[in-house]
Amino acid sequence: MKFVAAGLTDVGRERDHNEDTFLVDDALGLFLVADGMGGHRAGEVASSIARDTIHESMRTAPEGSRIETLAEAVRSANQAVVREGQANRARKGMGTTVVAMAIDGDAMVIAHAGDSRCYRFRAGKLERLTRDHSLIEELAGDDPAVMHALAGYSNVITRALGTAADTSPDVRSEALVAGDMYILCSDGLCGPVDDVAFEQLIAQGGALAEICTRLVLEANERGGPDNITVVLVSIEA
C-alpha cells in the first residue's frame, strides 16, 4: 500500500516555547506526535527522548509483528524518559504523551499513551481511533453531564510516558483502505478545534502540507492556547 505524509508543529499563541515534537519517516513507515510536559523546558526534552527512542527502536527492530514491535518501542521510550527524569533533578517529573502509527503491509498499527490522538478521515467522515488517557474521559465516558461537571479537570492526564516505570501504550491495528487519511495530533489542535470543524477543514482537500497549515491556523484562530502539532498520512492505491 502506498502513502504520502506531512507534518507541522507550531508554538501556538499562549506559550513561549514548543514542547511538542513529531516524526515523519516515509522509508520506515513510522509517524509520531509527542506532547511534552514539565518545567524548565523539560517537556521538550521528554518528547524528544520519546521520539528518538521510538524511532531508533523501530529502525533496529528485527522483522516480526509490528504490533508488538511498536508497543515495545513505546515501552522503551517510557523507560528512557523515566531514567532522564531520575538522573536530572531539574527534569524530575517530566513526561510526554505520544501517539505513533506504523505501516505494516496492508495494515497499520497505532500505539498511544495520553491525550494525543489518532483520527481517520474516510469517505468524508472523521472518526477518532484513540481514547484519551485523561481523567475526564475515563470518568465521564460519553456522558455529557459528567463531562461538563469535570470540565475543570480537562488537562489531568492519567497515563503518559515518564510518569511511571511500567507505563504501556494502548495498541490496535487497522486495515488500510485507499483514500483514507490518518491524522495524528496533540491536544493543542483537537482541544480548540471541535470534530465538526476538524472534519470540514480536512474535507476542503488540497496537498497535505496545505491541510496541515489550515488546521494549525484554525487552532490559532481559536486562541492557540497550547502548542499545536499535526501529522497527516494519506493512503493511496
141 located within any domain: no
Domain that holds residue 119: 2-126+160-236
The pLDDT confidence band at residue 64, using thresholds 50, 70 and 90, is confident
Cβ atoms of residues 181 and 151 within 8 Å:
no
Question: What pLDDT sits at residue 225?
Answer: 96
134 located within any domain: no
List the CATH number of the domain containing 84.
3.60.40.10
Residue 81 half-sphere exposure, CB side, CA atoms within 13 Å? Answer: 39
Question: What pLDDT sits at residue 111?
Answer: 98
32 located within any domain: yes
139 located within any domain: no
149 located within any domain: no
Residue 204 half-sphere exposure, CB side, CA atoms within 13 Å? Answer: 13
214 located within any domain: yes
The residue count of the chain comes to 237
Q: Is the pLDDT of residue 36 over 80?
A: yes
Residue 18 half-sphere exposure, CB side, CA atoms within 13 Å? Answer: 18
Q: Residue 224 is placed in which grid cell?
A: 492557540
Determine whether 124 is exposed, middle or buried from the number of CB atoms within 10 Å of its CB (0-12, 13-18, 19+): exposed
Minimum mean pLDDT range among 88-97, 134-143, 164-173, 192-201: 134-143
Q: How far is CA 192 from the centre of its chain?
A: 16
Higher pLDDT, 125 or 151: 125
* Rounded Cα distance, 69 and 57, in Å: 8
Render pLDDT for 154-199 as a digit per residue (tens, 0 to 9). 568 899 999 999 999 999 999 999 999 999 999 999 999 999 999 9
- Per the structure, how many domains does the chain have? 1
153 located within any domain: no
Render pLDDT for 194-231 as a digit per residue (tens, 0 to 9). 999 999 999 999 999 999 999 999 999 999 999 999 99
- What SS3 state is found at 48? helix
* Rounded Cα distance, 109 and 107, in Å: 7
140 located within any domain: no
